[in-house]
Chain A
């Protein structure tokens, strides 16, 4: 009985759950099979970003109401569960494992994930996200994507189980006025020299502090840069390992906080964003295109962004921030439609160019970024007319995400939280580290820390 079930499931993997005949005929039959596919396409998301991309850019999508749409005669159903309190992941954890047995209209067909916890859902053993090759998507289809965006969703067997339309490579965004005042120039090439590696970065931080500027708003700004450049994953053989580059972040940050060159504020707090205004006196932020375009208060005339007062350089190390990956849920009854959405949204040059121009996403397409880099339409008002695309494209090539693990979200969050105590002078490094370790064992009981 069990064996027969397994056989059935593997047939489903082949992309033809209803008609074994179609599976034998091969993937070319996808369009014909579509007629026999489910009439409801359920998509699990935590916000409205992907919904608006589909509404605006997917050919043939018709919006019926705020959480429903139609593609042909298939009803698209958006299931939004907010991220708060881990609710989104809890929801996925409940619905995905039993998805193959759910009734046709309740089956999840697609779900979205973020890099921090991507490995959990693309895990080969968990097998809740379909390998793209089972959908009939080949590596040729994805050849224009950046490698790091594929590393994030590659399982232990080397199979891709997701795809993204965004490449959120990021850089150091500096305050031009501060650069002129302290460094004597706001030319990106010159500024890059002052932040080329962490040692020169720390030297510059001293100069900035002497002039009354915070080097960066908070230690949490630089964390992502250090943690994206580690030499090994957080967990090795079931044991938590503090990477040298993470330790370097701790030492550099402690020195900076003690010298009042930065603070320990939380990202997105008012204390963090005060540097978006001239009187906030912050030299730089670290972020990708979306931070520049949407988060730096460009709509407020008093902000630095509104006056085009920012500049972009690569900074000490390459990194990325954000991005959304699309997965096909194992057990979907709309495999060919899911395949088509994935291909159109993450590989189609025209659609991706449209997305880049209309939504200012830094798209996951080397050709489109190249075109934008050499095009005046790529120049950015917030950056005082600088065209960031060449830099972002170069950055995306350099990002290395091969050390990502299923424990990244928990480890990164808990490590930053624990170290804040050390920076604030409420604990020694060892005590803060001990607290990090106990927090990790609470989150992941299977890990050891000593």
Chain B
């Protein structure tokens, strides 16, 4: 690549100009993205009264106190974190593994009704969650699965959006020849899927795992309909509970501390998984 740029000196200046523009835009965008975390941090460091007086640029002195209050309140914050982690991790795992499997079924095999099933799954994608919410809750109640993680985790196995993305990705990144080669080596179908197809899909799976994790982590709507006992509550429910606190205990500083606290683990998970994406990008470059 180095000789490309040296070979085309005439273009050098325009590359420089474009690079400069790119940097400026990227820095502006980064500011826009990070600004909210700064505001959250500032707000988490101020007392309820200070927050009422409007926004300030400098942090307050209440960061420690807000967190102290949070952990010494009657909210099961740590338990909530563990619950959220369990639900989100299982959701990410199940939705990506089984969606890859579903996509693989459509991609790698030619069977009767294949196209119809593909179109059908795309159709399912269009059902808004809220549309079936009432029926879903009734179903969960009749199955006696309230206050249980099953109705939050198991349904992610059928994730049409994830399926669709992985299917699209397979079209350009999973050649049938590779699978046939494995068959000739005598590998079973499940084994081929687990040892040949899955590793090749790693970047796409990482992307969807992040999405699934974050979606589940931040989900308030469904859990609030299903989880009522303190033992099983996830973080978004606890945040809602904190915001609904009575006037005596109402403390916006604590609410912001709680939000900051609940964002922290997602950032870590994101940073871990995003390595995969960037790594995948590098692999793509090597491939060329």
Contact = CB atoms under 8 A, between A and B. Distances in A.
Direct contact of A and B (CB under 8 A): yes
A303 B53 CA distance: 10
A91 B240 CA distance: 15
* Most chain B Cβ neighbours within 10 Å, of A79, A81, A277, A303: A81
A48 B54 CA distance: 27
Nearest to B241: A82
Contacts of A299: 47, 49
A5 B170 CA distance: 62
Interface in A82-113: 82-85, 87, 90-91, 94
Interface stretch (A135-143, A290-298, A395-403): A290-298
B130 to A, nearest CB: 12
Interface in A259-290: 270, 273-274, 276-277, 290
Contacts of A277: 53
Given A79-B228, A80-B230, A270-B54, A46 B244 contact: yes
B224 A87 contact: yes
Interface string B43-54: 000011111111
B241 A66 contact: no
Contacts of B245: 47-48
B248 interface: yes
A291 B230 CA distance: 30
Interface string B26-56: 0000000000000000000001111111100
B76 interface: yes
Contacts of B74: 48, 51, 66-67
Contacts of A83: 244
B254 to A, nearest CB: 13
Nearest to B248: A294
A197 interface: no
Nearest to B221: A85
Q: How large is the interface on A (under 10, 10 to 19, 20 to 34, 35 or more residues)?
A: 35 or more
Given A67-B74, A79-B228, A91-B228, A84 B244 contact: yes
B240 to A, nearest CB: 4
Given A82-B244, A84-B240, A47 B228 contact: no
A47 B52 contact: no
Residue from the set B54, B225, B248 with the largest chain A CB neighbour count within 10 Å: B248
B185 interface: no
Interface in B226-256: 228-230, 237, 240-241, 243-249
Contacts of A46: 244
Contact of A80 (B52, B241, B248): B241
A52 to B, nearest CB: 8
Contact of A290 (B49, B51, B225, B247): B247
A47 B230 contact: no
Interface string A412-449: 00000000000000000000000000000000000000
Interface centre among A47, A79, A85 (most CB of B within 10 A): A47
12 contacts: A47-B241, A47-B245, A48-B245, A48-B246, A48-B249, A51-B74, A66-B75, A82-B240, A84-B243, A297-B52, A300-B49, A300-B53
